[in-house]
Amino acid sequence: MAEIKTGGVRMIPVRGGEYRVWTKRVGRGPAVMLTLHGGPGCTHEYFECFEDFLPRQGIEFYYYDQLGSHYSDQPEDIGLWTVERFRDEVEEVRAGLGLGNFILYGQSWGGMLAIEYALAHPEHLKALIISNMTASIPSYAAYINELRRRLPPEIQEVMEIYEARGEYSAPEYEKILIGRIYSQYLCRTNPWPEPLARMFRHMNFQVYNTMQGPNEFIITGNFKDWDRWADLHRIQVPTLLLVGEHDTMNPADIAEMGRRIPNSRVAVIPGGSHCTMWDAQEPYFEALLRFVADVQSGRFAGALR
């Protein structure tokens, strides 16, 4: 019987086959990349623009919806939503796909997960790309609340009133988040690209709320104390650190990560925010593709800061 074609889609068993997660291969090429989406609880969908840039440069990449995300199984057990279990899941997915000597790309929460994986399983990595993620949640919290303090005092006062009541979904509160903050620091295109908007419609808030908290400012979830500053020197593989000029992550933090990771390169993307792959596409992918080309050719030697 001939092999059934699936358009690159494979469901990978995790936790001993108890659950399955969705993956899809895009393109074929000598460079192989596994992508880790943000959230937690988001989907791969906002990476769809990668298809216009990576395959034409010989990069074969894999979408992957983490457990709980829209295209994968979505169990109700909140005990599954921990950094350690997600890190172990990445290794299960790598083994299930048969990847070795591959490039690991992680964005936002996915970048945090990529750091965890690189520390636990460096033997499988050819290179690492950490996009729009600092080395600790306390560092992130300090900076995003600095951005918040730049808002007019009357706006901050309204936010505090709703937060004191726990009314995080109140229309006026959400209007401030989206209109005043997310439009400046999360994605600066107007309107938002359809894949990004679709991803938010598919978001699993049980996962997000358990690990992060109610929103980007109120960080009460179980990863609130995560901090890897002291461990970054252990990451030895070629590493690219990407951050937007107007990111929710502090560009100064990313520069410091570059000083601590021995074999790294930092690219601050002009005009970009947290979703730099959308609002500063050309410089973002230029930096990413140059890094991959340098790694593949053996020319990588840091710099580009």
- The residues carrying an active-site annotation are 108, 247, 274
3-state secondary structure 28-76: CCCEEEEEECCCCCCCHHHHHHHHHCCHHHCEEEEEEECCCCCCCCCCC
Burial 26-59 (b: 16+ CB within 10 A, else e): bbebebbbbbbbbbbbbbbbbbbbbeebbeebeb
Neighbours of 147 (CB within 10 A): 17
Radius of gyration of the chain (CA): 19
Residue 24 contacts residue 34 (beta carbons within 8 Å): no
Instruction: Give CA 257 to chain center in angstroms.
Output: 16
Cα–Cα distance for residue pair 235/102, rounded to 1 Å: 15
Q: How far from 116 is each of 80, 82, 220, 221, CA to CA, in Å?
A: 17, 12, 20, 18
Encoded amino acid at 21, one letter? V
Residue 109 contacts residue 84 (beta carbons within 8 Å): no
Cα–Cα distance for residue pair 154/148, rounded to 1 Å: 12
Instruction: Give CA 74 to chain center in angstroms.
Output: 19
Q: Which of 78, 91, 2 is nearest to 41 (CA)?
A: 78
Instruction: Give CA 150 to chain center in angstroms.
Output: 25
